[in-house]
Amino acid sequence: MTPSDREATGLLTHPDDLVRLLDATGGRHANPEFDPWVADLDVDALVDLHRDMVVVRRLDAEATALQRQGELGLWPPLAGQEAAQIGSARALHDDDFVFSSYREHAVAWLRGVRPDELLSVWRGTAASGWNPFEKRMAIPNIIIGAQSLHAVGWAMGARWEDSSNASIAYFGDGATSEGDVNEALVFASSFDAPVVFFCQNNGWAISEPVGLQSKQPLARRADGFGMPGIRVDGNDVLAVLAVTRWALDRARRGEGPTFIEAVTYRMGPHTTADDPKRYRTDDDLAAWRERDPITRLHAFLEASGIDVEALDADAKAAADRAAAELRAGLTAIADPEPMSVFDHVYAEPNSHLERQRDRYGRYLAMFDEEGER
């Protein structure tokens, strides 16, 4: 990766301002400000973080393979972003509410979403894969950045009800150029909404480098909205956990929103319909493989004296179970009845929807009539 490439991506132009507790080789770096936020983590908790990342990487690989086999219509891979998602999701309380984009499969996994619920939307058998109120996580949002407004609205309601809960909005670097995200930042700041804006800066808004839309780190945009902005090494699960805990604590204490920029990298394509080789180099990819979030935590655990053979065996067994559950869940998904597309569109019936239902029913009936001839 050349210096010009680094400048174009906007990822490494300011490497020194990243919060980092584990470096790329697994070395532990002291940080007086953020060390206390992960001081409670014992070996078992670190092993859990490692297992989480291994499992979701396997699930992501399985889903990508299933799409290539024609079992899914599309899949947006998360490979490389495991630490950003696992670290931040582990910081949440059960009653907090998550508003995600379409790539936060690891967050969904930790919120208790079953594999069949995760895949049904991408298989085209459901408009929403799970009950948001049960999982405390809204269904994936395809409209870029719209979930940020939803997160702020929920957070404002929580504040007015004197709730101690917070919301978190996940979005990518490309979404920061959308009006919805900027409007959400304005509302959140104006009303001191207990919300965390979690931007996964994975380097590419589909095929355009982040440097095209921002000449400065994205976290610096928070200054203009009157809220703290912080950059964290998104491949360092400990640093992500610490920073997100800190931001959520601010929100719960009534100090308002925080903007987190997790600097990470999308190792795969934007979606399975994308070919990243058309716009990035193998050298770029190789440089980021050296910063792999799973390898980094594994090295730290090994240096701590843990039995890495047992660690690897445990993680592999968990990943195998999850992969088997995912494939079994996929084959168990039944095709929906055609008329069910009208279910759950509105809370109450209305004439507009009933007219559509009637027309569609008559359209389907034509095929039955043709079959009888």
What number of other Cβ atoms are within 10 A of residue 337's Cβ?
8
Q: Where are the beta strands (DSSP E) in 29-124?
A: 97-99
- Residue 298, both tokens: 């594994």
Given phi > 0 = left and psi -120 to 50 = alpha, else beta, which region is 96? beta
**Options 90, 266, 280, 291, the catalytic residue:** 266
Q: Is 266 a catalytic residue?
A: yes
CB 301 within 8 A of CB 50: yes
Q: 270: closest CA among 119, 42, 64, 30? A: 64
End-to-end Cα spacing for the chain: 66
Is 360 a catalytic site residue?
no
Separation between Cα atoms, residue 373 and residue 369, nearest integer Å = 7
Spatial CB neighbours of 372, under 8 Å, sequence gap ≥ 6:
none
Q: Are 151 and 175 in contact (CB under 8 A)?
A: no
- What backbone torsions phi and psi does residue 208 show, to the nearest 5 degrees? -110, 130
Which residue, among 34, 30, 66, has the nearest Cα to 333 in the 3D structure?
A: 66
> Residue 134, SS3?
helix
The one catalytic residue in 270, 280, 291, 298 is: 270
Candidate list 14, 114, 150, 279, residue with the active-site label? 279
Chain-centroid distance of CA 173 in Å reads: 12
Q: By three-state DSSP, how is residue 259 classified? A: strand
Closest CA to 268 of 98, 7, 67: 67
Specify whether 289 is catalytic: no
Asked if 27 contacts 227 with a C-beta cutoff of 8 angstroms, the reply is: no
Active site amino acids: 266, 270, 279
